[in-house]
Structure formats: C-alpha cells, structure tokens
Structure 1
Amino acid sequence: MKTLAITRTLSITLLLCLSASFGFADRIKDLASVQGVRSNQLVGYGLVVGLDGTGDKSDFTDQTFRNMMEQFGITIADDEDPKLANVAAVSVHATLPAFSKPGQEIDITVSSLGNADSLRGGSLLLTPLRGADGNVYAVAQGSMIVSGFGAEGADGSSIQVNIESTGRIPNGATVERAVPTSFSQGDHLTFNLHRPDFTTAKRMAETITDLLGPDSAYAVDATSIRVTAPRDANQRVSFLSVLENLEVTPGEESAKVIINSRTGTIVVGKHVAIEPVAITHGDLTVTIQNDLTAAQPEGFSAGETVVVPDTDIAIAQENSPMFLFGPTVTLNDLVNAVNEVGAAPGDLMAILEALKSAGALKAELIII
C-alpha cells in the first residue's frame, strides 16, 4: 500500500511539472506558420506484384491487372482466370512538402485494398499520385519495406507482429509538378499561430515592430499577424529567415483539466482553482453469494428431493474522510489533497466531474 501511494504521488506531481508554464520564449518558427506555405496530400491506386502467394482475390484487382496487360498488347480472355495469387491492389498516399520541385523524391505509404494476407517482398508498379484537383504531381514505384511479420502452423495456430498489409517506400515517388504558391505575391506576409491566442498574437506583432519599425506588423485576430514584406523573392527569403528566429514569450493557456477516460490519464493546468467546497469519496461494495442446498422429504413421505437456493448478501462501505478546500486553493493544494486521499485515477475523475457540476472547479473540463 505504501508503494502504491508513493507511485500515485509521483505520477500526480509529474503532471504538475508538465502542466506548469515557466514563461520560456519560443521562436516564431515554432509558434506559427506562413500563410500559403503548406504541404499537400497525394493519393493513387496501383498494383503490387511479386508476392509469395499472399495476394488478394478481389474482382477489381483482376480488372486492374487485365487493363494493365492490355496496355502492353496482351489480351486476356474474359473466361480465363489469371490466378493472381502474387498480385494485390493497393492505395498509395504521400505528403508533398511545400516548395517541392520536379525531380525531387518523397516517401510513400502503400496499403492493401483487398484481402491480401501480406505485402512483404512485393514491388509497387508505376503509380501516378494525384492531388485534390485531379492533377498528377508525382509518380511512385519501387520495392516496399514491410515491418509486419506473421507465421502460421499446420494446426491453424498463428502469430502476427505489427501489420503486414501496409508498407513504406523511402524516396519512392518522384515529383513531376510543382504546386504554385502565393509566397512571392503582394506586399505582406501573414503568420498564422498554431494555437490561437490574443496575447501571443499581440506579443509577436510587438516583437516584429520593435525590429522593423512602427506599423510594420499588426495582429489581425487571435491567429493571424500581418507583416509588411519586400516584393523581391530573394529579399523575402532573407527577410523571413530573420523573422522566424525572433523569440516571443507565448501567452499562458486558460485553465483546463483534461481527462482521458480510456487510459486514466489526467492533466491539470496551471491556473486551475477551486472554490470553498467539502469533498468525501468512498466505495460501496455489495456482495451476493448463492449456495444451492438439497431439501429432503421428511421420513418416508412421498415428497421429492428439491434444490433450494441459499442467498447470502453482504454490504461493505469504506469509511472515507471528508476534506475541506479553502477559498485560496491552488494547483499545488489540489495535488497534495489528492495524494493524501490516495485516490485512484477513476476516483479522481469522478471527483473532478462532481466539482465541475457543483461550479466549484474554475477550469474547463475536457474529456477525450
């Protein structure tokens, strides 16, 4: 019991350390991104060949294979079964980074679409990758790396490690078309904060203004900061290189308590406070035990032997002390009180939800 209490104390204290904000300054490149400078998602459909009898038996795989063979001048009769045990239909997706140019290579992920058992040892055939506008921006091909592994015995027993129906090809696609951007257009650049915050936006605008002069930057809203920038592309690159390395102290987050009900993880923010409230929390255990006994007829009577249930019900309730929180409760006080109670994560979730319902918890309660 003592070891368990120490573990709980350490875990809750660790959450306190992680959630505390020390006011460290961050670079602008870590706080925001430049509007219009973004990656794009690509997707394609193709065939993986060379499998060791682990391909799929889907109708669309057969159709795709026939269409591909016709492009090479080979016609397969409709009543002929090509027996595609070594072929699998796959989807191919990739992320095209900003400013990618034709000839550069990007990584791709290949996933089975049918009922293929494994893609291990397969090679992806030439597959065009399209963007949301339908245009081809890259072409993929190559041998895959599959981290999954599986084995099956003659008696039907099997074991599998990771997933065998998905693989990756490093530098497996070649960029064929560049995505146009508005980076070099206009007289302004706009930074968009990763986490919208009015205080952070104001401080970033002030930091840039201190460097460039009055009216050079202003906060549009809690997310965007607009900055006057040179039109020349070369000067704009140097200009951004200076700005993105400026340090800004972000604003502190609002008071939040985040609960992950699946894992039992609870994170309490720095500015969480509790109004005066008394709390008690205990467990009520009800135990019901059924025993079957045989009832015999008396003497030599003509009665029958019957089975009679014998039920024993016991109720046990844990005696838990009541804790009083004063009006100046801080996060440290809350952590110390919880450690003193020795509440498990499930109990602490119930306490926090009850505090929020009573209006005593001055924080946003987020359950994920």
Structure 2
Amino acid sequence: MSSPERARLIADKVEAFVRQSIVPYERDPRRDHHGAPTDELVMEMREKARAAGVLTPHILADGSHLTQRETAMVLTRSGLSPLGPLACNTMAPDEGNMYLLGHVGSPDIKQRFLNPLIDGRVRSAFFMTEPAEDDGAGSDPSMLKTSCRLDGNHWVVNGRKCFITGAEGARVGIVMARAEEGACMFLVDLPDPAIRIEHVPNTIDSSMPGGHATVVIDNLRVPADQMLGEAGEGFRYAQIRLSPARLSHCMRWLGACIRANEIATDYANRRQAFGKTLVDHEGVGFMLAENLIDIKQAELMIDWCAGVLDSGSLGTAESSMAKVAVSEALMRIADRCVQVMGGTGVTDATIVEQVFREVRAFRIYDGPTEVHKWSLAKKIKRDWLAAQS
C-alpha cells in the first residue's frame, strides 16, 4: 500500500471515530477545577479508541512513525474535537515527547518511558520553561537556570519551572537543566517527592489535563543512565523535538477550526435575520468565504513544512514560518466563527468559543508570533551577510 493511501485510511478511521464516538463527550461534565477533562474521562475515551483501533494512530505496530505529511492527515482529523487528541493519544506534550524518545531514546529508555506513552496508559510532561521572576528560560532557552551536577552515578537537579503542561497527573517527565558542559535532558518517573507542584494557574485554554503548572525541583536525583545523550547535548535533542511539535500543534488546531467553521456555516445557513438567512448577507457570507481561504492556506503551509521535515532537515526556519502563518490564520478563522454566530458564539452551546480560546493560547505557546518573526529576521540578516562575503 502506498504511503499516502495508508495515511488516508488511518485518517478516515480516526475522523469517523472522533465524530461518532468522541463528539458526544463534549458535553460530559467530568472536568477538573481548571476546566480540563479529568484523567478518568481521558482514559475512558482511550479505551474506546483502543477498541476502535485508533489509539496512537501516528505510530505503527512496529514502532515506526508516520511521515510528517502522513501525520498531518491523521492529526488534523483527530483535532476535529478538542477531546479528539486526548482520546486518540495524539495530544501535546505526549505526541512530541513520543517523537523525541522514538528518535533518540536508548532501548532501555524506550522500554521504560516510551512504551507506556504509546500504549496510552500514562501522560507525560516536558519541563523546560522557567518563571520570569527567576530570569529563567522562556522564549529564550539559552536563559536556562535550572542546574544539574553529577554526584556519583546520579545527577542532582535543582530549579523552578512554569507553564509545564500536564505536570499534575503525569507519570513521565522530561526535564531540562544546565550543567557545566551545557544543557542536559533527563527522563524521570513521576510523581517524585523532589518535584513539587507549587501552583496551577487558571488559563484561557482548558483542553489539556493537568493544566500548566509551576513546579519546584528540589535536589531531584536522576540515575546517570536516564540522561538523553551526553551532558551538553540537551539543546541539540530539544531541536529534534521542536519543529515537529510546532507543526503538530498546527495540525490539531487546524482540525478544530475546520469543525468550528462547520458549526458556524450550519448556523449561518439556518438562522434568519432581516428577511433572509445569515449566509445571504454579504458580511456573513464573506467571513465564511475568508475562512475557506485561510483553511486552505493553513493546509498548504502545513504540508509544505511537513515535506521539509520529511526530507531530513531540522526545518527550524520553515517551522517558524508555518507556526506564525497557521496560528494567525486559525485565530482569524476562530474569531470569524464567533462573530458569525453572534451571542451563541460566545456561549458553551457549541465548541466554537472553546476553539477561540484554545487558538488564542496557541499564538503564544511553542513560541509567540513575534519571537518567530524576530528569529526569521535574524536569519535574513545572516543570509544577507553570508551572500556578501
């Protein structure tokens, strides 16, 4: 079977499952105090995904990963409901963490930490971002303050982290810290008494279990064989994860915006105002037309960047361009959907208002639009200077 045909069959199966089995869960009241689905709800949906053969659909039975272009087809369909990625185990940060461990983990690390993630039995968290009051790493990872030092056959890690998605309830952690040799990356079992959740803020988004915690790491002892690679290689491994994770966010939220546009289109074709249906009013019809244009442009941008990654390139600049273009396009789409639906669009009667909130947050995480533009501008200057020499 050809690769595109294989992906199409998987994607069709995922879409049918999400629309038929997961969309009804959108009214399920099982939420934590931050509005996110509880782990009980997540695991219930995952059992249904397992039975339907769509759990972790981007990773094949032999452990190999779909290409990025194939992944785009599958993850976009899983995103048709905000609950879809949770149910199908294509959610962040787990999907990105699985990608990283699948590419660079030792056999022992894959057995201990990767396989339970692929099986959908546990969640994970990626500990990198640090509090602004500590002058720690945010959009600039070189500001990493969390420290680690070798003590016998263990590394001892100390520091604070913030906006750690899914930390509450996670069973696998990837922790970034700085040694004398440079950045390091560790795999840890969670919970661990040395990693204490200090605070879980209320945030605009509510799709990710465990929230976005601030944590204190106090003399965490990690066996030396749980370091990914060697001391000083942490940023190199982070780069392997970075571009695909940026792009998979684009894929999932594109699916959510496609669904939101379906809901807004249905509303506009049913609702009457001033003697005709809303869609027949130019102001409304034009917004829906603009949504189709932005959806197609987002699809093409994702496909282009996926092709770059499939070529073997890290795709750092390309993923920055895709993240900016897609997140901004999706924000326009979500905003228009709310506007088309008027008062209904800002209520929880549909998922449209949630998609709006989630996509607004997406413009910030994995690098704000402005940081990506600044990075691209630096590349433009470097390339120009290189051309002059």
Is the structural similarity TM-score above 0.5? no
TM-score (norm 1): 0.21
Larger helix fraction of residues: 2
Larger strand fraction of residues: 1
TM-score (norm 2): 0.20
